[in-house]
Structure 1
Amino acid sequence: MKKNIVILFISILSVQVCLSQTIDTLKLNNYFKSLDSNNKFMGSFALMKDGKLIYKNQIGYSDIEKQKRQNENTKYRIGSISKTFTSVLIFKAIEEGKLDLDKTINNYFPNVKNSNSITISNLLNHRSGIHNFTNDAEYLEYNTKPKNETEMLSIISKFDSDFEPNSKSEYSNSNYVLLSYILEKTYNRTFSEILKNKIVSPIELKNTFFGGKINLKNNESNSYSYNGKWEKQTETDMSIPIGAGGIVSTPSDLLKFAEALFSFKIISKNSLSKMEKLEDNYGMGLFKMPFYDKYSFGHTGGIDGFSSVFGYFPEEKSAFALTSNGTNYDNNEISIALLSVLFNKPFESPSFKIYDLKSKDLDKFLGIYSSPSFPLKITITKSEKILIAQATGQSAFNLEAIEKNKFEFKQAGIVLEFDTINKQMTLKQGGGTFKLTKE
């Protein structure tokens, strides 16, 4: 689902650690302390080694307005990690003889384009061609309002197909909303009841459920984004994403779920192997994520100001998970730190040193930058002491000064370096370097 950024106020590190002599917990704790004291992240983390939970940690606030800190049972919306749960539920129904991977969806959704050619399998691995409704500009006009099945089907059905079914893969939340409705029709129960009966209760997940309106009294968390100051985010109504992004959980529960899944305690080995099979890098509710010579299966998630990721390493029976209600940093960097400690690999803690500039110092950078070799124009503006960049047709983002003429947007790995004498700006991202000139 939709992704944002997050955090506020310096918080005191709150840690619950299952001590283990096999990982460097001190280094990891200091890393999180640095994230915390520099307002980079709020959320929780967990590590599993050889099938055992060995580390838990949390930093920040679940409710900034009331200064309520996170604790080890703070619950977060996990966004698209919900898709892994939904895929497992579909395979449960298949094993029970209630569904078939090759069954087309026209009997369920006759108004969806190409429904007579789209199979349940195509929905699971994003090969349906059904347009992703959350990419539509109108999505943010209704995402906080309740929607029933008829309304959601009307939204999804109005789009033309993006491509012919099974011709390629392209991520679409619409696929898993439809899978949720198929489950409800199959069991004649709500998605929430199916989730509880088929997964949550059998493997005893204590802090996992289908979400509703955020309930702080139930130890759930608000979410936040950082725009010069921390701002509380709106709440997507969970009737919209359903099994595409509506589940609430914790890192510890996610690891317990992963261990049960990959130990064949929920579905069979044969079913799991189908979930793991990749086509165009998409599995059925799982992605394959490498780390050095190892690999994990898992998923990422983002909804409102929440973000999350989990990965399970089958060969090592080890796993990691993080859930966040506010990040002003790149979650991939945090995942690398967690995995580096888990597998005893080197990593460096960032210094987060910020170059202090006055508002008037930013004026020389302002303007519109372009290049024939770069497809977008970059507009540079400011808000008091904060430099802001915005590419054509995209959202604006705040930049942090790391040197006198160099700025970065860490979440996307973007670095901008200005040459004010020649009126040029060099943009670096993902190994690419582009030189743009001020118009």
Structure 2
Amino acid sequence: MLKNSLLSFFFSLFVTVSFAQKLDTTKLDTLFYLLQTNDKFMGSIAISENGKLLYSRSIGKDDLEFGKKSDSNTKYRIGSISKMFTASLIFKAIEEKKLTLNQTLDAYFPSVPNAKKITIGNMLNHRSGIHNFTNDNSYMSYNTLPKNQAEMVIIISKSKSDFEPNSKMEYSNSNYVLLSYILEKIYKKPFAELLKTKIVTPLGLKNTYFGGKINLKFNECYSYNFVEHWEKSTETDTSIPMGAGGIVSNPIDLNIFIEALFAGKIVSAKSLEQMKTLEDNMGMGMFQMPFYDMKGYGHTGGIDGFSSVLAYMPDNKLSIALTSNGGVYQNNDIMIAALSAYYGKPFVMPTFTKYEVKAEDVKKYLGKYTSDQLVMTLTITGQEDKLYAQATGQSTFPLTATEKDTFEFATAGIKIIFNLTDKVLELNQGGQKFIFRKE
């Protein structure tokens, strides 16, 4: 649910139970100890095998101002993992003969560009061409304000199609906001009620529901961003993301949900197979998550300072859910560690080393850098012994030195390596490498 951009303690140990010799809980305990003591992550994880809880841990705080510690009952906004729930509700509607994958959008929202060509199936696997409203600069001007269906449809409809329906895949939150409204239209009930009656109650989920204003009394937590120190994040009004990113849950509940989904307890085996079928690496409400030669399925999520991952490995009936309300260590690395601990694969623990940069050395890095690979300028500025970077059209972010001429912005997984001799810098993010030359 996050807007796209370049930048795309005390232990609170709760439950650690081992039902299998496979899982190296010591490795996971060590990782979370390092994350905790270095203030790199706040959140919860749960690992289950065939419905049995193998490991659960929570670190950090629900509320930093008053020091309320997180535990296994803490509830998080799960962002785009909500799409798995919404897709499941759509397939239940299909099984109840209320909808078909080939039904076109014009029957519900004819004002959306290309509505006569866009099918329910196109929306489920992001092949609709409907513009993603969270990509617009204006999004951040209203995301904390409540919006009703009519207002959101106007916002989504005002943009032209990004491409011809079913010609390619491009992720768009607009698809699942509209799918939420379609569910409300065909059932004549609020999305929150449909979620509760068709998924939450039948599965006995105790910590899952459509979110509202964050309330600590309900064991919900605030989210935080780290910019030199933890800062409380804005709070998106859930009337905007709807079923694209408005659900609240926790790791234990998420594991129960995905286990039930793959066990045929929510939708039929036929429907699940359709959800799993990939086209341009995207399924309907889920995508593939490979680990070595194994194939898992699931979804990631991000909204405000919250981030999450849910994965299921069918061959082992293994489910892993990770929810966070603040982190400068990548969720993907924690998931790799968890899977490595289960499958006996090697994993190197982070060291979080820092390299001291003297104030007089900072000026060597300053300047504007441009790249032939990206249409943007990266401006490096400094203040005393601190270094900052700013990409064209983006906010300034701090850089932390990890070794000589090497800096990181861990929140976004960015590493910058300076070559002072050649007057270039190398920016690494998400497995990609970009070269910038100083002007």
TM-score bracket, shorter-length normalisation: over 0.9
- How far apart are residue 229 of structure 1 and its match? 1.2
Cα shift at 1:399: 1.7
Is the 8 Å Cα contact of residues 12 and 70 (structure 2) preserved in structure 1? no
- Give matches, 1:189-204, under 5 Å: 189-204=189-204
Aligned to 2:99: 99
Query: Which amino acid counterpart does residue 387 of structure 1 have in structure 2?
Result: L
User: Match for residue 19 of structure 1?
Assistant: 18
Q: How far apart are 1:15 and its partner, in Å?
A: 3.8
Deviation at 1:381, TM superposition (A): 1.4
Name the SS for the 2:23 alignment partner. Answer: coil
CA RMSD of aligned residues (A): 1.8
Deviates more, 1:407-416 or 1:143-152: 407-416
- 1:68-95: per-residue Cα shift (whole Å, max 9, x none)? 1101010000000000000000111111
Return the alpha-carbon distance in structure 2 between the equivalents of residues 429 and 38 of structure 1: 22
Letter in 2 for 1:66: F
Structural mapping, 1:16-415, within 5 Å: 16-20=15-19, 21-372=21-372, 375-415=375-415
Q: Percent identity?
A: 58
Report the AA paired with residue 127 of structure 2: R
Displacement of 1:223: 0.2
Aligned residues: 435
Distance 1:287 1:381, change over 3 A: same
How far apart, in 1, do the equivalents of 2:383 and 2:227 lie? 10
Q: Structure 1 counterpart of 2:287, which letter?
A: F
Amino acid at match of 2:397: F
C-alpha contact 1:4 1:225 (8 A) present in aligned 2: no
Q: CA deviation at 1:284?
A: 0.5
Q: Is the 8 A contact 2:23 2:341 kept in 1?
A: yes
- Equivalent residue of 1:151, what SS? helix
Following the alignment from structure 2 to structure 1, what is the Cα–Cα distance between the partners of residues 108 and 4?
A: 33
In the alignment, the residues of structure 2 paired with residue 373 and residue 204 of structure 1 have an alpha-carbon distance, to the nearest angstrom, of 50
**Cα shift at 1:415:** 2.5
CA distance in 2, matches of 1:135, 1:338: 32
CA displacement 1:132-181 (0-9 Å, x = unmatched) = 01011100000000000110011011010111111111110000000000
CA–CA distance in 1 between the matches of 2:105 and 2:297?
27
Tell me how far apart the structure 1 counterparts of residues 23 and 125 of structure 2 sit (CA, whole Å). Answer: 35
Change (3 A) 1:419 1:293: closer
The alpha-carbon deviation at position 368 of structure 1 amounts to 0.8
Change (3 A) 1:108 1:411: same
Q: Hey, what's the Cα distance between the residues in 2 that align with 1:396 and 1:319? A: 37
Q: Residue 201 of structure 1 aligns to a residue in which SS?
A: helix
After TM superposition, the score normalised by the length of structure 1 is 0.95
8 A Cα contact 2:13 2:57, kept in partner: yes
CA gap of 1:438–1:69, structure 2 versus 1, over 3 A, is: same
Question: Could you tell me whether the CA contact under 8 Å between 1:98 and 1:186 is conserved in 2?
Answer: yes
How far apart are 1:205 and its partner, in Å? 0.4
Q: In structure 2, do the counterparts of structure 1 residues 383 and 176 end up closer, same or farther at CA, with 3 Å as the change threshold? A: farther
2:282 and 2:224 mapped to 1: Cα distance? 30
Change (3 A) 1:385 1:73: farther
Deviation at 1:436, TM superposition (A): 3.2
CA–CA distance in structure 2, aligned partners of residues 345 and 276 of structure 1: 26
The answer on whether the counterparts of 1:3 and 1:302 sit within 8 Å (CA) in structure 2 is no
Please give the secondary structure, in 2, of the residue aligned with 1:402. Answer: strand
User: CA 1:231 to 1:305, structure 2 compared with 1: closer, same or farther past 3 Å?
Assistant: same
Assess if the C-alpha contact under 8 Å between 1:45 and 1:251 holds in 2.
yes
What corresponds to 1:420 in structure 2? 420
Distance 1:361 1:373 in 2: 28
- Worse overlay, 270-279 or 386-395: 386-395
Paired residue secondary structure (2:235):
coil
Contact 2:226 2:411 in 1 (8 A): no
Does the aligned pair in 2 maintain the 1:11–1:61 contact within 8 Å? no
Closer/same/farther in 2, CA of residues 109 and 295 from structure 1, 3 Å limit: same
Local SS of the residue matching 1:288: strand
After superposition, the Cα gap between the structure-2 partners of 1:244 and 1:358, relative to the gap in structure 1 and judged at 3 Å, is same
The 8 Å contact of residues 12 and 71 in structure 2, kept in 1 or not, is answered as no
The alpha-carbon distance between structure 1 residues 198 and 403, as it changes in their structure 2 partners (threshold 3 A), is same
TM-score, normalised to structure 2, is: 0.95
Bigger Cα displacement from structure 2, 68-77 vs 312-321 = 312-321
Deviations 1:262-294 (A, max 9, x none): 000111000100101111111100010100111
Inter-partner Cα distance in structure 2 for 1:383 and 1:232:
24
Structure 1: which 5+ residue stretches go unaligned?
none
Residue identity in the other structure for 1:19:
S
